């Protein structure tokens, strides 16, 4: 969809073009007064200007110069056969194309569609140059928890439903979002990821919605936002809970109206985007604190999926570790039994991201030789309370429940004294706190 200005001193011509392009899904403004059109170009941002070449008072060449002064605007000239040479001159000055009257409206629609696609692709290329995009890889793991999550992701991918991914940091929420996109009917369209916690409020608003030239200090040119870049595709809003109340209000309006305004802009822009949001916070608690809008929560929480931590999918640890070794093209991708036991013994508070980083560091320290336990520096105090690494996938949940019961029992016997409870469990006090956090047992 493009924002288009059509200029011709013949009202019938502008009306015909407007009807054809609006039916094709574009947003069209018309003008039969060339002087008025110059003002419209100054005050608004148009993706494409379609103008007659020969008009009274103001020529099409003047319109061309004015339109090309606005960065990102493309111009199509309409001309009678006798003015073809002037149209060619307009092309040399920067016009995108020209059409000889009389022309087919279908021909014009095809040309406009091509120009709109070129603008979108150009903006996408600029975006990809600036942003490091993580390559999509399969969602690795065969544990019961992982299989259940994969099933939910595949089911919701077949729809256009908004998805809310929750869970602790490092559990693979962006990978899950990419899986939803790649399995959807939008798979051939853009997938745009935004880390809402990485930018200040003003910069984030500009990144999401774009801005017009001069909207603020440093806005030297018009910029398309991430929502526009994701049009017809999917946008992943990571760390959504880190946004301000004001920005949440604007996001809510975009979700409800399917329209947005660039920063400093006055023209609404229609969008068709699949929303996938993620957070490592408990949004209901944030609502109670007044830091997250309840109405936005219900707009996002259409299909919630909780991403399991690595402590609840321990049967995937070795499979993931070997996957990371293979992706690094390491010469010795197999893990020895001592290394496997070491990896299974650790709690992985940083989840999959921590495992990936630990494996990468180990390959560097190993220096091309098979990885050994000495290549890891994991903070392991004692053996796990329950050796879930020896259990089958179906038993993982039962083992986690048993561990939680053991901790609660020890705390009860010690009357809440953490040091005494740790002694009863024969683990360190720090280890106890770590496992309490895993099981959401309040101190």
Kindly state whether residues 232 and 164 are assigned to the same domain: yes
pLDDT digits (tens, 9 = 90+) for 398-432: 566 777 888 888 887 887 888 888 888 877 777 78
Q: Which domain holds residue 321?
A: 310-375
- Point out which residues pair with 79 in neighbouring strands: 100
Tell me if 139 is assigned to some domain. Answer: no
Q: Is residue 186 part of a domain?
A: yes
Instruction: Give the 3-state secondary structure percentages of the chain, helix then strand then coil, rounded to 5.
Output: 50, 15, 35
pLDDT of residue 391 exceeding 80: no
Residue 132 within any structural domain of the chain? no
CATH number of the structural domain spanning residue 191: 3.40.50.300
| Residue 412 pLDDT | 78
**DSSP assignment string, 415-438:** TT-HHHHHHHHTS-HHHHHHHHHH
DSSP letters, 31-75, are ES-HHHHHHHHHHS--SEEEEESS-SSS-HHHHHHHHHTSTT-EE
> Of 284, 306, 328, which marks where a domain is finished?
306
Beta strand pairing status for 259-260 and 269-270? antiparallel
What stretches of 259-307 show up as alpha helix (H) in DSSP?
283-289, 294-300
pLDDT band at 127 (very low <50, low <70, confident <90, very high): low
Q: What is the pLDDT of residue 126?
A: 61
Q: Is residue 368 part of a domain?
A: yes
Residue 137, in any domain of the structure: no
CATH code for the domain in which residue 421 is found: 1.10.10
Give the three-state DSSP class for 287.
Answer: helix
Residue 24 included in any domain: yes
223 and 206 Cβ atoms separated by less than 8 Å: yes
Contacts of 352 (CB under 8 A, 6+ apart): 170, 171, 172, 310, 320
- Is residue 156 domain-shared with residue 191, that is, in the same domain? yes
Note whether residue 268 is domain-resident: yes
- Give me the pLDDT at residue 134, please: 42
Max avg pLDDT among 205-209, 422-426, 434-438 = 205-209
Judge whether residue 393 has pLDDT over 50: no
* Percentage of the chain modeled with pLDDT above 70: 91
Report the distance separating Cα 167 and Cα 174, nearest Å. Answer: 11
| 151 and 292 both lie in a single domain | yes
Tell me: do 261 and 366 sit in the same domain. no
Residue 93 and residue 213 in one domain: no
Tell me the chain's radius of gyration from C-alpha atoms. Answer: 29
Handedness of CA 201, 206, 209, 212 (dihedral sign): positive
Q: What is the mean pLDDT of the chain?
A: 86
Please give the pLDDT value at position 381.
55
The span from the CA of 197 to the CA of 56, in Å, is 54
Give 213-236 pLDDT, tens digit per residue. 888 888 878 888 999 999 999 999
* Same domain assignment for residues 224 and 161: yes
pLDDT of residue 404: 81
Supply the CATH number for residue 340's domain. Answer: 1.10.8.60
Same domain for 298 and 164, yes or no, is yes
Q: What is the pLDDT of residue 93?
A: 87
Same domain, 82 and 206: no
Q: pTM, whole model, 2 decimals? A: 0.61
**CA–CA gap between residue 327 and residue 343 (Å, rounded):** 18
pLDDT at site 220: 77
Long-range contact list for 293-298, CB < 8 A, 24+ apart? 293/245, 293/248, 293/249, 293/252, 295/252, 296/248, 296/249, 296/251, 296/252, 296/255
Which residue shows structure tokens 């992706």?
327
Last residue of a domain, one of 277, 306, 335: 306
Strands 210-211 and 223-224: antiparallel
Whether residue 399 is found in the same domain as residue 369: no
Same domain, 73 and 170: no
Number of domains in the chain: 4
> What DSSP designation does 340 have?
H
Looking at 70, 92, 125, the residue that finishes a domain is 125
Q: Please measure the distance between the N-terminal and C-terminal CA atoms of the chain and give it in whole angstroms.
A: 54
Give the residue with greater pLDDT, 315 vs 439: 315
Tens of pLDDT, residue by residue over 38-84, are 999 988 889 999 999 888 888 889 999 999 988 788 999 998 766 66
Residue 133 domain-assigned?
no
Give the model's pLDDT for residue 90. 85
* 61: its two tokens: 């060449």
Q: Which two tokens stand for residue 321?
A: 């570790």
Domain co-membership, 223 together with 242: yes
Here the CATH number for the domain that contains residue 48 is: 3.40.50.2300
In this structure, are 96 and 193 located in the same domain?
no
């Amino acid at each position: 969809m493009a924002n288009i200005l059509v200029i011709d001193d013949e009202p019938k011509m502008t009306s015909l073009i407007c009807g054809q392009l609006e039916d094709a899904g574009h947003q069209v403004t018309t003008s039969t007064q060339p002087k008025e059109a110059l003002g419209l170009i100054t005050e608004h941002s148009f993706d494409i200007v379609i103008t007659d070449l020969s008009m009274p008072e103001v020529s099409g060449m003047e319109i061309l110069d004015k339109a090309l002064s606005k960065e990102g605007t493309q111009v199509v000239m309409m001309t009678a056969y006798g003015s073809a040479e002037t149209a060619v001159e307009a092309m040399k000055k920067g016009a995108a194309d020209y059409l000889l009257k009389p022309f087919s409206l279908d021909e014009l629609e095809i040309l406009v569609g091509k120009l709109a696609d070129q603008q979108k692709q150009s903006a996408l290329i600029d975006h990809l140059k600036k942003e490091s995009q993580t390559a999509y890889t399969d969602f690795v793991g065969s544990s019961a928890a992982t299989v259940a999550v994969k099933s939910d992701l595949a089911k919701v991918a077949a729809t256009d439903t908004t998805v809310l991914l929750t869970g602790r940091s490092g559990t693979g929420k962006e990978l899950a979002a990419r899986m939803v996109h790649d399995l959807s009917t939008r798979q051939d369209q853009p997938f745009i990821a935004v880390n809402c916690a990485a930018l200040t409020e003003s910069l984030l608003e500009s990144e999401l919605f774009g801005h017009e030239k001069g909207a603020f200090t440093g806005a030297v040119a018009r910029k398309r936002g991430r929502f526009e870049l994701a049009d017809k595709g999917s946008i992943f809003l990571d760390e959504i809970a880190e946004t301000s109340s004001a920005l949440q209000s604007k996001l809510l309006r975009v979700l409800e109206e399917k329209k947005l305004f660039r920063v400093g802009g006055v023209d609404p822009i229609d969008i068709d985007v699949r929303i996938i949001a993620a957070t490592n916070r408990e949004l209901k608690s944030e609502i109670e604190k007044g830091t997250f809008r309840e109405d936005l929560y219900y707009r996002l929480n259409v299909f919630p999926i909780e991403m399991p931590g690595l402590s609840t999918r321990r049967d995937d640890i070795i499979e993931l570790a070997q996957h990371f070794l293979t992706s690094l093209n390491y010469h010795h991708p197999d893990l020895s039994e001592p290394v496997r036991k070491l990896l299974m013994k650790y709690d992985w508070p940083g989840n999959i991201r921590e495992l990936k980083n630990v494996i990468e560091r180990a390959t560097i320290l190993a220096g091309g030789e098979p990885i050994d336990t000495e290549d890891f520096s994991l903070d392991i105090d004692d053996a796990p309370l329950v050796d879930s690494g020896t259990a089958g996938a179906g038993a993982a949940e039962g083992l986690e429940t048993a561990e939680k019961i053991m901790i609660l029992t020890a705390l009860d016997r010690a009357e809440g004294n953490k040091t005494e409870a740790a002694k009863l469990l024969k683990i360190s006090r720090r280890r106890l706190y770590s496992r309490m956090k895993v099981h959401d047992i309040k101190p």
